[in-house]
Amino acid sequence: MSFPPLDTALPAGADAREHALMLRRVHEASLSGRPAPAPLRPVIEDSWGRMRGFGIDPDSAPPPRVARVDELQRNRDASPIAAVLPLIRRSLVSVADEADHIMLVADSAGQVLWREGSHRMRSVGDRVGLVEGAYWNEGSTGTNAIGTALVVGRPVQVYSAEHFVRSLHALTCACAPIHDPRDGRLLGAIDVTGPVSTIHPATLALVSAVAQLAEAHLQGIHHTHLERLRSVAAPLLAGMSERALVVDDAGWTAAAVHMEPVRRVLLPTQRDTGTAWLPALGECALEPLPGGWLVRPRPERESGGATVTLDLTRSAPTVAVAGASGEWTHRLTPRHAELLLLLAGHREGRTGAQLSQAVFGAGGHVVTVRAELSRLRRHLGGIIESRPYRFSEEVLVRVVAPPAPTDLLPGSVAPGIRDLREALRSGDRSVALRSLLAT
């Protein structure tokens, strides 16, 4: 299990009280237009930029919307996190209670589905609207650990006056998102919130570890489902003389016959019995099975040029490929979205070292870049070429970008993406930007 780098709120060796006072001076200066006595962490600075775009008033922000009881229950029942809620409770509730904290579990929209922990902190939560059914996305309550972690897609700690709304300055919060291990889809987040005096870097490490444990448990549930699907499909595949494979609803392969099995097939978002073009396999016949699909690749034939659309307007970026055989859409991981955006802006191509510099700020991560692009190329077939890495000359690339530059992959801290946001903010219309935004 790999652990993401943690961006803790309290600098090493800093006094918590003095740091909180300094943050309040930064908050006052930033809102009044005066020079700030110290810089904000990039994740907080970017979030405050979004708050200004939302028009959130730090002094009189309305309380978050709270869903009706029946709506809350429907969202609980529909949440995949419900399957791992007992594990999360065992890992965090006793710790939160003893440390005078509360544990919260939110869905991908920022709605608090479950809340447990210290009685005193639950009372504090009641006063600020941190209750079950309340929406704590950034657009509702400003910069906060739940909302900001959901935007950037990684663990976030927000301390004292890093909260944009003043009524939250007495709190310290640490939150880690939970992703679906099958397709990377954001499912929600785990948060631990307490009094500002209780800040500790280990809190962020704890919620991050529990989130990864929850994802590992969801992965185990998925493997069990694949085993059941494999048993169901075995008699069917045994009588087939043509190439075929059986996949679950997310496209993960359970079994294959007369062909080299692929780890995953990227199924169209809208699918039914019939045919579909799949990037890894070409034209395929699809037939529904209990809990999955039978996929039968058809003989290869020449296909015309394709149009690739990189849609960055939503919280979960997607890439769509449309050709003569139909259209296919795939949800992107944050890293894959960064790489495709950088390649879209440089149709002449980028070397592994250039992409390493643009993504990580250093040239020493070429192996990581190559591994990520290898995964992308397996999914996208011949659309991405290598030496240098680039989109094929035969495809038309379109990028659908959000209207506000600050909303362009807001969770990315890659130097190349931050430079692109700044160029868009300053009105730069270089050749690369013109080609990128020619949609």
Cα–Cα distance measured from residue 171 to residue 169, given in angstroms and rounded to the nearest whole number: 5
How many CA atoms, within 13 angstroms, populate the side-chain half-sphere of residue 344?
28
Per-residue pLDDT of the chain (439 residues; tens, 9 = 90+): 445 568 899 888 889 999 999 999 999 999 888 999 999 999 999 999 899 888 899 998 788 999 999 999 999 999 999 999 999 999 998 888 888 899 999 999 999 999 999 899 999 999 999 999 999 999 999 999 999 999 988 999 999 999 999 999 999 999 999 999 887 789 999 999 999 988 888 999 999 999 999 999 999 999 999 999 999 888 888 888 899 999 998 888 999 998 887 888 877 766 666 777 776 677 788 888 888 899 998 876 544 467 888 999 877 888 887 765 566 777 888 888 999 999 988 888 899 899 999 988 888 888 888 888 887 776 676 678 888 888 888 788 889 988 888 888 888 888 899 888 888 877 765 544 444 554 4
pTM: 0.74
244-248 and 390-391 beta bridge pairing: unpaired
CB 114 within 8 A of CB 105: yes
Whole-Å CA distances, 295 to 240, 248, 281, 299, 382: 12, 10, 10, 13, 20
Instruction: Give every CB contact of residue 283 below 8 A, 6+ residues apart in sequence.
Output: 275, 276, 277, 297, 298, 301, 325
Helix, strand, coil content of the chain in percent (nearest 5)? 45, 20, 35
Across the beta sheet with 112-117, what order do the strands follow?
Answer: 112-117, 102-107, 186-195, 171-179, 156-159
CB 102 within 8 A of CB 118: yes
Cα–Cα distance measured from residue 291 to residue 247, given in angstroms and rounded to the nearest whole number: 9
CB 189 within 8 A of CB 143: no
Cα–Cα distance measured from residue 55 to residue 111, given in angstroms and rounded to the nearest whole number: 21
Cα–Cα distance measured from residue 172 to residue 20, given in angstroms and rounded to the nearest whole number: 10
